[in-house]
Amino acid sequence: MSAATLSAGSIISTSGREADDEHEVSFFLRHFSEVPGRWMDLFDLDCYYSRQVPMLARRNSLVKYAACALAAKQLGRVEGRKAAFGGLAHRTASMETWPGHSSPDHVWYGMKYYDKSISLLMETISEGDGTHRDDYHRRNDNETIVAATILCVYEFLSATTAGWSQHLDGTQSLLRLTSQELLFQFQPSPSPASAALAPPKALRAAFWNFARQDSLACIISGKHTRLSTEDVDMWRAMGLPIDDRGLLLMTDSNSPLKDDMIANSLVWLLCNIGNFIAFSDDATGSDMDPEILSPCAAATRSRKAIWKILDHELSAWHESLPETFQPSASIKIDSLSPSLDRETWYSNSMCASTVQSYHLARMLLLLHLPPNMPMPELNPPSLDTRASHPMRRQDLLSAFRALQARLVAHAIEICAIALGRPDDSTRIHMLQPLYYSGRCMTDPRDREVVRDLIRAIERDTGWATEYRVEQLVQDWAL
C-alpha cells in the first residue's frame, strides 16, 4: 500500500461523503457493543470488539459501517427485539430507541451499511501497493482487518456459505503475516521461551476471531484451514505457546496462560484436527502430507500415528485446565429424554463454550478414527482387561457399542451446558457441538431435545441454525 492510502482525508475520514445520521449510527453502534460485539469478544479478555470498536468508529468509517451493518442485520433477524442491557430500568436512553416513530426495516439498513463498508474496503485494498508503512498507517491497516472480520460475521449470521467463504478468503489476504512488509510485519521469535514483541491488540483480536471462524469453516466444509498450521512463527506471534515441533506448551509455571489463550490453544488443536479430517477424506493412500498438518506430523506419515499425536495433545490440553474451566453448578432435572437429565452452568461463559468445543474435538477424533486403529484402544480405562472379560474378545458389534457410548457421553456433556441456558455469546458458538451431538443420539426423544436447542439459538439471537437442523433430519432418516 502507498503511504497515502489511509490518509486522514481519504478512507478514514468521512469528509466529502454523505453525512451520517448521528442518532441512527449511535443506535446501531450501541447495539453492536451490547450484542454482536460481545459475541465476538467471548474469547478475548480485553473485549476488543465491544469496547474498542465503537471508539474506533468515531474516526474510521470502514469500522463504523461494518459494525452498523452487523448490528442492523442481527436486529432484522430477530424482528427488532432487543433485550434490556444491564438489567431493568425505569427509562431507556434515547440512543437505545430508534429515532422517529416508524418501525425501521433493519434488514434494509444492514444492507445499506454493508454496501458502504464493502465500498470502503475495496477502495482500501485497491489502493495498496506494498510499499513502506509507518506506524500510523499500520494501525489503520490493522483496523481494516478488524472491519473485515466483522463483515465475516455479517455473512455467517445468515449462513450464506458462499459469501462467508469469500470474506474469509479476503480476510486471509489481509492477514498475510510473513517476514515481508505487507499489512503486518513481525520478527520470528528465536525460541519458544523468548519474549517476542506483542502484536497490536487490534490485530491479535482480529487474528483469533478469524482463526476461530477458519476452524469452523474447516469443520463445516471438510476443507483445509486457510491459516497454515505449519507457520509456527505466525501462531507464536499471536501468543500461542508452541514449540518448534508444533506441540503445545501448556504447563509453564513461571507464566501461566490466561483463560483466553487456553481457549485459543484449543482453536489451534481444532484447526489441526480439521486438517487431519480434510486430508483423510481426500487421501487415497495411507500416507499423510506433513505440510498439511502441524509440524508434529513430520515425525511420521501414518494416519494412525498422527491421530495418536492429536489425541495425546488434546488430552494434555484438557489435563492442564485450571479450576476456572470446572462447572460452577450442575444439577439433576426432570428427565427431558432418556439421556438428558442434567443442567450444567459455568460462571465464565468463555469456559463454558471452550469445554463444549473440547467435547466436539473429542467427537471429531472418534468419528474419524483411522480404519487400522486397534479397537481395544477405545476401551474405557475402567474396563476389566482380563482375558475372561467379554470385552477382551472384541468383535465389530462390541467395538461399535464402545465407540457409540463414548460419543454419546461427550454429547451429553455438550447438551448439559446448553440446557443450563448460557448467555447468547456462548449459544451462538455451540451450534456445531450441538449438531454433532444430535448426530450421535439414537433415541428420538434425545434428538428432539437437541433439535429444539438448536432452533432456539436462531429464534433468540438471529444466528442461522436451520441448515444444521435440516442436515440432522437427513442424517436421522438414514
Q: What is the pLDDT of residues 158-183, one digit of tens each?
A: 976 667 787 788 788 776 643 333 34
pLDDT given for residue 97 in this prediction:
82
Cα(401)–Cα(396) distance, rounded to whole angstroms?
Answer: 9
| Whether 207 and 321 share a structural domain | no
Collapsed DSSP state (helix, strand, coil) of residue 18? coil
In this structure, is residue 357 part of a structural domain?
yes
Q: Output the CA angle 110-113-119, nearest 5 degrees.
A: 135
* Structure confidence at residue 153 as a pLDDT band (50, 70, 90): very high
**Could you tell me which of 161, 151, 162, 153 has the C-alpha nearest to residue 125?**
151
pLDDT surpasses 90 at 17: no
pLDDT given for residue 299 in this prediction:
43
In this structure, is residue 418 part of a structural domain?
yes
In this structure, is residue 30 part of a structural domain?
yes
* Structure confidence at residue 18 as a pLDDT band (50, 70, 90): low
Average pLDDT, the chain: 82
pLDDT given for residue 187 in this prediction:
34
Q: What are 391-446's pLDDT values in tens digits? A: 455 677 888 888 999 999 999 999 999 999 999 999 999 999 999 999 999 999 99
Helix residue ranges per DSSP H, 133-199: 135-157, 161-174
pTM: 0.85
In this structure, is residue 413 part of a structural domain?
yes
Q: What are 198-244's pLDDT values in tens digits? A: 568 888 999 999 999 999 999 998 999 999 998 888 899 999 999 88
Distance from the first to the final alpha carbon of the chain: 53
| Whether 360 and 213 share a structural domain | no
| Whether 207 and 342 share a structural domain | no
In this structure, is residue 439 part of a structural domain?
yes
| Whether 33 and 174 share a structural domain | yes
In this structure, is residue 404 part of a structural domain?
yes
Q: Which of 184-198, 239-253, 268-282 has the highest mean pLDDT?
A: 268-282
pLDDT given for residue 194 in this prediction:
39
Helix (H) / strand (E) containing 116? helix 106-126
pLDDT given for residue 139 in this prediction:
61
Q: Residue 13 burial by CB count (10 A; 0-12/13-18/19+): exposed, middle or buried?
A: middle
In this structure, is residue 307 part of a structural domain?
no
pLDDT surpasses 60 at 300: no
Selected residue with higher pLDDT from 130 and 58? 58
Range 97-121 average pLDDT: 91
| Whether 204 and 327 share a structural domain | no
| Whether 471 and 322 share a structural domain | yes
Q: What are 288-298's pLDDT values in tens digits? A: 555 445 545 44
In this structure, is residue 278 part of a structural domain?
no
Q: Output the CA angle 106-112-117, nearest 5 degrees.
A: 125
| Whether 218 and 334 share a structural domain | no
| Whether 206 and 350 share a structural domain | no
Selected residue with higher pLDDT from 121 and 96? 121
How many folded domains does the chain comprise?
2
Quote the domain boundaries for residue 158. Answer: 18-83+93-127+135-183+199-226
